Structures are given as C-alpha cells and as structure tokens.
A and B are shown apart, each in its own frame.
Chain A
Amino acid sequence: MGLRSWIHSLTGPKRYSDSYYNSLNHVKLVLLVNNQLKMGKGKIAAQVGHASVKAAMLASEKHPAEMQAWLSSGQQKVVLKVQSLVELETIIELAKKSNLPTSIIRDAGKTQIAPNSLTVVGIGPALSEKIDELTKEFKLL
C-alpha cells in the first residue's frame, strides 16, 4: 500500500467488508400503521409517505450502506397494521434496543384524528431478518 492510500484508509470514509455488503441483499423498510386510529385510505397513505421520507433521509445520513442497498434493490416497503398504541410503543423500544433505525410519525391532527397521535412507525431500511424478528406477528394492511 502506498503512502497516499494508507493515509486515505485512515481518513477516508469507512468501508464495510464485502461479506457485510453481501448480507445487505435483503434490505427493507417496514411501516407499522396504528390501526387503533380509524384513519382513511388517503390519510394512511400520507402518513406512510411521511415515515418513508423520514426513514430515507435518516438512512442517507447515518446508514449509507443500507440506504444504497435498499435503493438499488427497489426500495422494498411493507405496510403492516398494529392494533394498539401500546404494542406500537413496545415495538419502538425493541427496535431501539436492536439498533434498528426508527422513524416515528405523529400527526398534527388537523384532520380526522386527535393532535399528536402516533400514526406510523417506520423501521429500517435494514436487514429483513432483523426487522422480521420484531414484526413477524403483524398482518399486512
């Protein structure tokens, strides 16, 4: 290794190992919708939109490898329903413990629901298996 590459290896952006990149084949974003709130179709779509943008912006900053893998594999998104706020809050805690990125959306409550309601939680983009551990019990919306 020449001097310049050696300096670059110390000061340049961190590289992940090849095996880590290969393991990023299945990266997804899961969006958990609070089904306790009776939101209409359009309202849900807008809230999921918020969570997706938030998750993507967070990932670009903090988890660029996952973000890249997610984008180049077609931005897989899975929308699941959670029946109660308590369950949703539990999942947020667990996700944080597992170091999974969370994007929490609270609504201003101008329409349909009370202000500051927790509407959608995004988990990821991250490895499918890691997210599945937390979310496999929930059904597709």
Chain B
Amino acid sequence: MSQQESEITMVLVTRKDLKLSSGKLAAQAGHAAVNCALTARKLKPKLLEEWRNTGSRKIVCQVSNLEGMKRLYGEARELGLISEMIRDAGRTEIPAGTITLLGLGPGPRRLIDELTRSLPLLK
C-alpha cells in the first residue's frame, strides 16, 4: 500500500445547489468537522489521534444536490465510515432544517477517495 493510500483524511462535501456566503459555508464546515471529530473520539479514538498527528488532512468538495449527498451518506455508512450530515438551524440565509453539508471521516483515504473521487473540489 502506498503512503497516500494509508493516509487518514476527512472530506467535507458541500451542495452546489445551495447558495451560501463564504462565512456561512465555513461555519457549517466547522460544524461538520467538529461533529465528525467528536464521533471519532467516541468510536475510533486511535484513528482520530492518527489523523490529528498527521496534519488533520481535510478537503472540501461539492456534490450537485441533496439527493447526491444523501446517496453518498448511505454509501459511507455502508462502508462503516464516520459520516455526519449537518442541518442548519436556519437563523440566517436559508430555511431552518436545510441539510447543508456532509462530513466524511476521519477515515482511510483509500476508502473515502473511492466515494468522492468524481466530485469536484471547492477551491
């Protein structure tokens, strides 16, 4: 296994069909990252440690819509990956309860890449 494949990573998936400001998107990403990390601490503490000790790799990419996000969530669950969908409280910008973001990992990059390979990066 190459070094890249054994890496631990987190991927934050945003929705292309939602128009969020940079600040809003960033706050939601923070939320997803924290929830994923807390879940990891409970279920896979060693993995969390390894991820944090290797620079907490994190990338942000986009899926076209909610349906695509839910599909990805299901697939991730089936693979036993940590996956957390974030629902916004909706105090600003968008209606309450809107699903804004999906966090995957920390988990093996090999597995997560398989799911997210086709998704464009959000730069």
Chain A interfacial positions (CB closer than 8 Å to B): 29, 31, 33, 40-53, 56-57, 60, 74-75, 77-81, 108, 112, 140-141
Contacts and interface: CB of A to CB of B under 8 A. Distances in A.
| Most chain A CB neighbours (cut-off 10 Å) among B55, B89, B121, B123 | B123
Size bin of chain B's contact surface: 20 to 34
Given A45-B122, A49-B26, A49-B33, 7 more contacts: A42-B60, A45-B25, A46-B29, A50-B56, A52-B29, A53-B37, A75-B31
Contacts, number: 95
A45 B34 contact: no
B84 to A, nearest CB: 12
Nearest to A33: B26
Contacts of B4: none
Nearest to A45: B29
11 contacts: A42-B123, A43-B123, A44-B26, A45-B12, A45-B25, A52-B30, A52-B33, A53-B33, A53-B52, A77-B27, A79-B26
A42 B33 contact: no
B48 to A, nearest CB: 9
B112 interface: no
Nearest to B31: A75
Nearest to A56: B34
Question: What's the dominant secondary structure at chain B's contact region?
Answer: helix
| Most chain A CB neighbours (cut-off 10 Å) among B21, B24, B27 | B27
Given A49-B58, A50-B56, A77-B31, A41 B123 contact: yes
Interface in B81-108: 89
B76 interface: no
A77 B88 CA distance: 12
A40 B123 contact: yes
Given A53-B37, A75-B31, A79-B27, A42 B121 contact: yes
Contact of A53 (B22, B34, B55): B34
Given A45-B60, A79-B26, A56 B123 contact: no
Nearest to B28: A45
Contacts of A56: 34, 37-38
A77 B89 CA distance: 12
A32 B28 CA distance: 15
A13 to B, nearest CB: 19
Contacts of B30: 29, 31, 48-49, 51-53, 77, 79
A53 B29 CA distance: 10
| Most chain B CB neighbours (cut-off 10 Å) among A57, A74, A80 | A57
